Structure 1
Amino acid sequence: MLSPDAREQEYLLHAIDGAHGLATLGELFLWSQGALQALLPHGVLLCMQLDEQGRARRVDCLHSTMLAPAERALLCDARQGPVPAWLRLWQQAGGRPLPLQAGAMGHGLLHGSGPLASGGSAVALLGLPAAAGLRECWLLQLLLPYLHLALQRIATAAQAPTISPRQAEIMQWLREGKSNEEIGRLLGISPLTVKNHLQRLYRQLGVSNRAHAVAQFPILPLPDLSKIFTV
């Protein structure tokens, strides 16, 4: 049975700790260039969102090596690129970590968590320094649950409704349990204006009341909401 040596234990703990809270592709890239790179050196990380049939519906390419635009576009093509064939091979292998021969990208390794009822995810590491063996497969298998959760958060954040800065302020106070009158006093607007903002927000979120709005919208600190603001 494989077990991590002292160095790998340190890197694994660092990788798992760092994976908690990853919510954007930029954060995932920075994590991959630190903790993941230390355990599994690679040139390209492909992140795939899978549908219920285990087919890729979206592919994102994170890379530290130089890629020609056409090469990157092909890797990100969920229909015409190499990803569909790799996923079929992975499924035929019983869903175990799959070493790849990735053409000009050299050695690779693919593993995933799908298909699931709500859709799964898969990742492929390309440009490995050597053919993936048992240890590389084992390390990716250990990290896969954390990668899957990170990709779920990224997908959820990408689908989050776009709200205005004023709506974000109102949502912040809504979570604090403030009434329309209290929110109006805090923001220097009338309770009726607060109510109108909330009605528009309910329509955007597809909800009918305050409790559902708070449950539906991601709970983020107010400064972070600027990432999804519209003017």
Structure 2
Amino acid sequence: MEPVVILSRQEQEYLLRAIESGLRVASMRQFFLWTQGQLQALLPHQVMVALQFAPSGALRRLECLHATVLAPQAASLLADRRDGLALRIARHCQQGARLPAMAELSDSKVGGKAGGVLGGFEKELREAGFDSVLVHGTGATAEGASVFVLFGLPMRPGPRHAYFLELLLAHLHLALLRLPSPAARRAGGPARPLSERETEIVGWLREGKSNEEMAQILGISALTVKNHLQRIYRLLGVGNRAHALARCLELRLLEA
């Protein structure tokens, strides 16, 4: 028998806010802010990989969403479009109709094991620096299927977290379908590429550093950092730090 999950009043409020916000998502920037904002209140996680499949089963879209800096090796391991960990986990769960699925390493530092459906992925989870994963997907639809893989939950994933993701699944799927195609996003890019210094600043911005902290790291003044940020805002057509970061992720400006 499936365990009964009863939402607290606070969880009901978080769920309602997440659903209401999700209805307005129509761009990659909004999708990033939504998944790293309201969804985190119910399902805190370090990285979400959203995968959209065509009706034929071919991968149509893969988005790797995270609010902190992810090491290039970990990003490649998780989100490679040809053979990344998230893609293989998604296909593994789809083929066996085993959704939702979850796993936790009891102690990744001493070789803890992830049992169950995802038991074969524990080595790669450790290599990527995560000790937990939660997966859910829509199954086949007329538009194809969506699968969402959440890495790095701060608590042990269980039926309660799987239920939260199930409640949000349709809204995640529909929001993903509303996003412009990657080709359309690239076509709407800035007038020029980010400079090397601007890319550095956006990278530290992504890690949550203040102007003063970035100044110390880069060996420049806080005023110079502020001037760089103002130029970045004008280039991207945004007005603040969060929107600048979301716009960079939307246009994949940090992937190069």
- Same-fold call, TM cutoff 0.5: yes
Which residue does the alignment assign to 1:215?
Answer: none
- Do the aligned partners of residues 50 and 4 (structure 1) sit closer, same or farther apart at CA in structure 2, a change above 3 Å counting? same
Distance in structure 1 (CA, Å) of the matches to 2:88 and 2:22: 28
Please list every run of 5 or more consecutive structure 1 residues that lacks an aligned counterpart in the other structure.
Answer: 164-231
- Look up the match of 1:149: 174
Q: Which of 73, 78, 81 is the matching residue for 1:78? A: 81
Q: If the length of structure 2 is used for normalisation, what is the TM-score?
A: 0.58
Alignment partners' CA distance in 1, 2:8 and 2:96: 28
Residues in 2 aligned to 1:7 and 1:158: alpha-carbon distance in whole angstroms: 40
Distance 1:81 1:112 in 2: 17
Is structure 2 residue 49 aligned with structure 1 residue 24? Answer: no
Question: Which 5+ residue runs of structure 2 have no aligned equivalent?
Answer: 104-121, 189-256
Q: Which whole-Å deviations, capped at 9, do the CAs of 1:94-132 have from their partners, x for residues lacking one?
A: 242111453322211111113323212111111101331
Q: 1:15 is paired with a residue of what secondary structure?
A: helix
Deviates more, 1:48-57 or 1:142-151: 48-57
Per-residue CA shift, 1:12-49, capped at 9, x if unaligned?
Answer: 00000010020122211111222111101101111111
Contact 1:99–1:109, Cα closer than 8 Å, also in 2: yes
CA distance in 2, matches of 1:120, 1:159: 21
Over 4 Å off, 4+ runs: 155-160
1:66 aligns with 2:66: no
Note the aligned Cα RMSD (angstroms). 2.7
Question: Deviation string for 1:118-170 (max 9, x for gaps)?
Answer: 2121111111013310000000000000000100001469659x79xxxxxxx
Structure 2 residue identity aligned to 1:111: H
1:40 to 33, 38, 43: 43
Choose the corresponding residue for 1:12, options 4, 12, 15.
15
Inter-CA distance 159–120: structure 2 relative to 1 (3 Å threshold):
farther
Aligned-residue identity in percent: 41
Task: Tell me the distance in 2 between the aligned counterparts of 1:145 and 1:95.
Answer: 17
